[in-house]
Structure 1
C-alpha cells in the first residue's frame, strides 16, 4: 500500500495512510508519556495537565500549519476544532475514570492508563480523522 502524502484525507470507508497512523502513534505515545511522567500526583491533576496541554497544542499547531501553508503554498487541512476538543475531553474523562477504577486494584494504575491512552489514540485516532478535518463540502459551505 503506497504511503499517502496527505495526513488527513480519509474518505468514508478508506483506510488511513501509513503517515496518518504514524502521526497518531506519536501523539498517543506522547500523551501516554505525559500521563505517566506525573504519576506521583493525584489523577485529577493528570487530567487537568493533559487536557490543558492538549488544548494548548491545537491552536499552536493550527498557527504553525497556516504559516507553513503561506510559506509553501501547499493547501493544508482545516480542523473542526469543536470535534477535536470534544474528542480530547472524552479521552481525558475516560482516562480519569479508568485510573480511578484501577487505582483500587493496582499500584500502577497510571501506567495502565498511559498504555491505554497510547493504544486508543494510535488505533482509533486514524479512523476518526474524517471527523476532525473539514472536507471540501464543509469548506464550500462556509
Structure 2
C-alpha cells in the first residue's frame, strides 16, 4: 500500500475520533446524555397502546429491572479510568431508551387509569436487599 494512502487513512481515523470525543464531551458537559427530557424524546409514542394493564405492569417490571441493571453497570464503569467515556459508548444509549420506555409505560397506564404495581414491588425488594446487605456487613 502506498505511504500516502496509509497516511490518509490515519488522518481520517484521527478526525473521526476527534469528532466522537468532542460529541461525548459536549454530551457530558450538558449534564449527561440520559436526562429525563432526552428519554421522553426517544420514547416511541404509542409503543404500548395495545397492551393490557396487566401486561403494562409486567413489561414495566422487566424494564425497571433492566434500568437498575444498566445503572449498576454504569456506576461500576465510572469507577475505572476513562469510565465516563466507557459509559457513554457502552451503556448510555440503552439506558436512555429504557428510561423512555418507562416513561411511555407510565404515560399509557395513566391514560387508561391502570394501577401499576411494579414500582411498589421493586421498592420493597430494594429495601429488603439493602437490609440484607446491612445485616451482612455487621
Q: Name the TM-score class by shorter chain.
A: 0.3 to 0.5
> Rg larger in 1 or in 2?
2
